[in-house]
Amino acid sequence: MIIPSLDFIQGKTVRLYQGNYNCKTRYNINIFEQIDEYICHGATHIHLVDLDGCSNPLDRQKNILKIVSNYKNITFQVGGGIRTHDDIKSLLDVGVNKIVIGTVAILYPNKFKRWLSKYGGDKLILAVDIKVNNKNENKIAINGWKVITQSNIEDIVSMFVPYGLKNILCTDILRDGTFLGPNVELYKHLKKQFPNIILQSSGGVCSIADICSLQEHNVEHVIIGRALLEKKFTFLEARQCWQKELSLV
């Protein structure tokens, strides 16, 4: 599935370059009109990152409520600075369908295990943001990608699978917002290691060919932000490509 992504600050749509708040592009786009366009062309899922919420969860709840309450029959998944059980509960209460958890799962794995047990793997998505080092190790970044940990993605995913983890959103941070193409080898490796995990890829997509390549390697979902906003291709074109490739399987 193709999942459009929208990041916003103070209600304005933005894209960060490799997660850097100081390297952001602002788009003169009404977020509601953009979502309407995606829905008109067949989108059923939307990925939202409220960057204000990273610093103030109350802002996140307020902003997300404005968006989610406008739509029915749309699955919203939300990420960015979600740290506590109250953060999760408040987002679910306003109608968010899936919660994307990153930093807190890495720093406090027992807490994330409890959340998986409470809410189930269908509600929680583990965000694993990766920086590939010079030894070709997939190290996880946290705190808005500011800190590179010594944790490998393989060890982290293996730890949570017994507790019901079903979905991961994996971003190669050196590709995010760059148009360098997705890290297909990374996703190919993850699908081989964890064939039962539902994988969302994120970062680097710049062409329809990139989408085809990800699908060929059994990636279930592709998160696309900047390429759609800058009209490298339309959501409709991406969706049609995805459906065409599925029909050939």
Catalytic center residues = 7, 129
Selection from 172, 101, 90 nearest residue 137 by Cα: 172
Backbone angles phi, psi at 125, to 5 degrees: -115, 130
Cα–Cα distance for residue pair 36/30, rounded to 1 Å: 10
Cα–Cα distance for residue pair 92/29, rounded to 1 Å: 26
Question: For 133, which DSSP code?
Answer: -
DSSP codes of every residue in 161-221: GGGT--EEEEEETTTTTTTS---HHHHHHHHHH-TTSEEEEES---SHHHHHHHHHTT--E
| Residue 66 neighbours by CB distance under 10 Å | 12
CA distances from 130 to 127, 136, 162, 199, 237 (A): 10, 11, 22, 14, 28
Cα–Cα distance for residue pair 195/172, rounded to 1 Å: 19
